A and B are shown apart, each in its own frame.
Chain A
Amino acid sequence: MGSKTSLSKALVRRETISGYLFMLPCLFFFLTFVIYPMFMCVFTSFFDSNMGKNTTDVFIGLANYRELFSDRIFLGALRNTFVIVLVSVPVVMVFSLWVASAIYDMPMVLTSAFRCIFYLPVVTGSVAVTVVWKWMYNNYYGIFNFLGKNLGLIDKNINWLGDEKYALWCIILILLTTSVGQPIVLYVSALGNVDKTLIEAAEVDGANRSQVFRNVKWPQIMPTTLYILIITMINSFQCFALIQLLTSGGPNHSTDTIMYYIYYTAFKLYRYGYGNAMGVVLMIIIAVLSAVQFKLGSSDN
């Protein structure tokens, strides 16, 4: 009995070592490119760190964090970021669930075709997508102004990206088109995996379509919903490329997001410590919201 136990312990040890060895390359990259920069970010956020060969980083404690909450532009960027998240996350969730529900039980060819169509903007390079949208929004020859004027919807051209009333909403619209692809594919897959016997049983018991969805399908796709919720939220919080390529945070800071303002502070103003402090705040916000969502998701389950 004793020799059996020691044999199995040795086996477990060997397997554990093998497991860690397999993890080692991944761990190396994780430590180098995730953990190390993360600690650097937190560490530098306590310093007045600027660009300059002969400058020295000066420890200033929480001064960067205190400055953040009196920085009008940062607070505006925070507000814009929350607007993007609060609008895009529910819309993406509802739209993708609706599309997936409509297409998942279609003939395979049609389902695949729709999946391709909705996934196309995800696999297309963000620069290419942005350039096309920029043409469409163009103040002088864009298709939106052309159609709007010809259909009698607008009297004169609207400067979509140059007017602070519209710019943020234009960004959100593009974000929606590039964000729905993955949730649709995931929902189609999740809905396809719902136990059909449970659906049939519910229908035999007299449940209507709405009741079947609410009481049978929805609980079974809950883990997928939770995953989609979190990735969509994180993607929305990290909206950067669209802003940088289309508006550079303008006009008048109306499209600044925290991600863009971090870039602006670090690369245009060369204030690395201050930019990192913003990064830490963003990380805390995302971590807290993700934890809340996990908690709510697991309670529902």
Chain B
Amino acid sequence: MRKTTALLLALVMVISLAACAAPAGTETAAGTEAAAGTEAAVETAADTKASEITLWTYPIGGWGNAETVDSLMADFKAATGISVKVEYLDYTNGDDQVNTAIEGKSAPDLIMEGPERLVANWGAKGYMADIADLWDDEDRKEVNSACQAACFTADGKCFEYPVVMTAHCMAVNYTALEKAGKADLVNKDTHTWTTQQFKYAVAALYAAGNDPVAAIFCGGQGGDQGTRAIINNMYGGTFTNAEHNAYTADSAENIKALEELQAMDGISFDASIVGGDEINLFRQGILKMAFCWNIAQQLNEDNNAAGLTNDGDEIVFMSFPAEDGNAKLCGGIWGFGIFDNGDAGKIEAAKEFIRYFCEGEGTEPAVKAAQYFAARTGVHGRDLSGIWSDNAIMNEYNKLMPYLGDYYQVTGGWAEARTAWWNMLQAVGSGASVADSVKTFCETANAAAK
């Protein structure tokens, strides 16, 4: 009896092993069959549109707020009959949750984020559905060209439909600078400044007893655009080449900027904080400058009126410093992508969702909820330019939009480059040679880009 049971157990083990062995071969076969099936099914999709879909969203302004999103989803359901189950991700664990879901074959139908994830990562890995068919000539005319470039691949596939955009910037505690007697360094009209003015401002704030004045946060997990932008802009360096196929952070301009920041009194390379921590420390009045800033931060009213720190100091948003004052700001583009889960009905319903919120009656509420700027000038002729006319801060912030630079976040190997970037900053913060650190970064990132 024992022998029989042992034999049975061994059989179960062997079956488990066989099951283990299966994925390498079967997954591909199954994948091919599923892909072929999906293509065929999509053609007849209109008849089989699903009545319920899932949306996972990162905290993009009010799209991270359940109350706001519930209201948008209720309107969408009333207009289309499709109900949407929403789950909220954060930037700390969101990517892991999505990756786990993808591998567990339980990815959501829709996801809201930027092209660096939807196009350069999951799209490039073959998990997103091509939504190029949602674009017509009018869309091409109305949607911001930089957004279009970021959402389409070189071979004409589209993995994201943009809904909002902004330019990332930095912020200064203007009251502290006034107290340090150097308020004239900040131009509250143009919101731009030169590298020299920025260095004077840091020196003045440091001399006034603020240590540190600002932090190059490098604990990882989000906010990386701020650290890239300060380094790239100080002396006109770039992060990638124009073709978006190689990382160029080891240029002489970037090395010069990093070496200056490394040696600058008042600037701390802090591996114990991330972008969100930096914003909190700035709001608490501990740091006097923030590099992880954009319009959503400027409009934030959580602990005080918009544009004020918790203690009531005035916050002035500024372009990143450049030698001639004309910085190239990092863009933030957010929109929706559809995961190709092999269910044509769900894909069709998800496309209906995108039509509604990106080029339909839901566009204006979607943009307002996100608290960013619309990615298009109008919706099929209906003008969107006055969408924020009632908001003085948004209007003022609009002055930075012409400084929007190249959206290079779609360069291959982005996910690995991002983690390597943090490691590079941590090494520099530990006193390592800047030239060696950026060289290592570029070697790692360029290897991932191939």
Contacts and interface: CB of A to CB of B under 8 A. Distances in A.
Interface of A: 13, 16-17, 20, 27, 31, 35-36, 39-40, 43, 47, 49, 51-57, 137-141, 159-164, 247-248, 250-253, 264, 267-270
Nearest to B128: A53
Contact of B1 (A17, A141, A269): A17
Contact of A252 (B19, B96, B426): B426
B219 A248 contact: yes
Contacts of A138: 272
Contacts of B423: 250, 252-253
A252 B427 contact: yes
16 contacts: A31-B12, A43-B20, A51-B102, A53-B126, A54-B31, A54-B126, A139-B273, A161-B272, A162-B219, A162-B271, A163-B271, A248-B422, A252-B426, A264-B419, A268-B416, A269-B415
Given A139-B272, A162-B272, 19 more contacts: A17-B1, A36-B16, A43-B20, A47-B24, A53-B126, A53-B127, A54-B31, A57-B23, A140-B286, A159-B270, A162-B219, A162-B273, A162-B429, A247-B272, A250-B220, A250-B422, A267-B96, A269-B416, A269-B419
Given A248-B221, A251-B430, A159 B16 contact: no
A194 B17 CA distance: 47
Given A31-B12, A250-B218, A51 B103 contact: yes
A206 to B, nearest CB: 53
B66 to A, nearest CB: 21
B252 interface: no
Interface in B97-127: 99, 102-103, 125-127
Contacts of B17: 39, 43
A13 B219 contact: no
A51 B23 CA distance: 13
Given A16-B2, A36-B20, A250-B423, A53 B31 contact: yes
A254 to B, nearest CB: 9
Interface in B371-421: 415-416, 419
A56 B268 CA distance: 44
Contacts of B99: 51, 267, 270
B13 interface: yes
Sorted nearest first, the 3 A-B pairs with minimum C-beta distance are: A162-B272, A53-B126, A251-B271
B24 A57 contact: yes
Contacts of B5: 16, 20
Contacts of B19: 36
Contacts of B427: 252
Contacts of B218: 250-251
A47 B28 CA distance: 15
A13 B1 contact: yes
A138 B278 CA distance: 12
B449 interface: no
A175 to B, nearest CB: 18
Interface in B206-251: 218-221
Given A16-B5, A252-B426, A267-B99, A53 B219 contact: no
Q: How large is the interface on B (under 10, 10 to 19, 20 to 34, 35 or more residues)?
A: 35 or more
Contacts of A39: 16-17, 20
Nearest to A263: B96
A267 B422 CA distance: 16
B281 interface: yes
A47 B1 CA distance: 39
Contacts of A264: 419
B220 A51 contact: no
A241 B420 CA distance: 21
B21 interface: yes
Nearest to B28: A56
A288 B13 CA distance: 23
Contacts of A140: 281, 286
Interface string B1-22: 1100100010011001101110
A242 to B, nearest CB: 14
A36 B219 CA distance: 35
B34 to A, nearest CB: 9
A159 B20 contact: no
Given A139-B273, A250-B218, A253-B423, A53 B125 contact: yes
A251 B5 CA distance: 53
Contacts of A52: 125-126
Contacts of B102: 51
Contacts of B219: 162, 247-248, 250
A35 B1 CA distance: 23
Contacts of A57: 23-24
A43 B16 CA distance: 12
B93 to A, nearest CB: 9
Nearest to A139: B272
B16 A35 contact: yes
Contacts of B96: 267
A196 B425 CA distance: 62
Contacts of B24: 47, 49, 56-57
